[in-house]
Amino acid sequence: MTDKVIIITGGGAGIGRAVAHLCARRGDRIAVLDRDGAAAERTAVEARERGAVATIGIACDVTVEPEVETAIKESAAKLGTPWGVFANAGMDLGGFVHELPFEQWQKVIATNLTGVYLTCKHALCEILADGRGGSIVCTSSPAAFVAFAAGAAGAYSASKGAVSALVRTLAIDYAKHDIRVNAVVPGPTETRLMWANVPEAEIPKVRQTICSEVPLGRLADPEEPARAVVWLLSEESSYVTGSHLVCDGGVLAKASVSV
């Protein structure tokens, strides 16, 4: 039981929701932020039912700084100063770069990179003012290190590569304040984002193909990468900062050629 204040962006579904559930089991106070306010509130209610000391669900678009600042301040006012932050909100709009509309590029970068920056910025302000340190986890991706075989992920890959670079910089900048900053690197996971660029009718076939390519032979359940996040959002990882915890079923360990 930790009773720490944890802020989660993109907490209305997927890995963010699973992190909220797991943090609830250890008795944390949880602020769930999501662009879909109703989904954020549902996760908050579920977390209370699973043992969270207190929760709040807040509608928040991480690309809009006033919304992020207000949501984090509201979380601190109602639950206490955040100790842990999971900067997780993300999206993907696929397309080859020469065909990708600039507006789509901007949207992906705004959500996946600027959203992480804004979340970290305003959470850090609260954590630094409190002076007790904390732990921040950002969601990166295998796409930060290698190109997806299916292609057409230039904007997504660029955004996640930048998140990984930001994590390393923040880890060094704030180590002296006892604030740790790490990234989780989930592989193929059964979430809505996984199928963002796949027509619904093709999902079963694509799922089968992906399972055949992942060394462990399956997609992850959202709770599996969530366990990695929760470990980083705990004192058990007290000497871990600036690192990437890969939870990808072996994807990054596998060569792309069959020899």
Could you tell me the sign of the dihedral formed by the alpha carbons of 112, 118, 121, 122, in that order? negative
Q: Amino acid identity of 74?
A: E
195 sits in which H/E element: none
Q: Which of 113, 147, 137 is nearest to 245 (CA)?
A: 137
- Rounded distance, CA 102 to CA 60, Å? 24
Residue 228's alpha-carbon distances to 11, 51, 61, 173, in angstroms, are 16, 20, 25, 23
* Contact residues for 197 (Cβ-Cβ < 8 A; gap 6+): 92, 93, 94, 152
The answer to whether 225 touches 189, Cβ cutoff 8 Å, is: yes
- Rounded distance, CA 96 to CA 118, Å? 28
Q: Check if 239 is active-site.
A: no
**Catalytic-role residue among 117, 156, 174, 239:** 156
Active site residues: 156
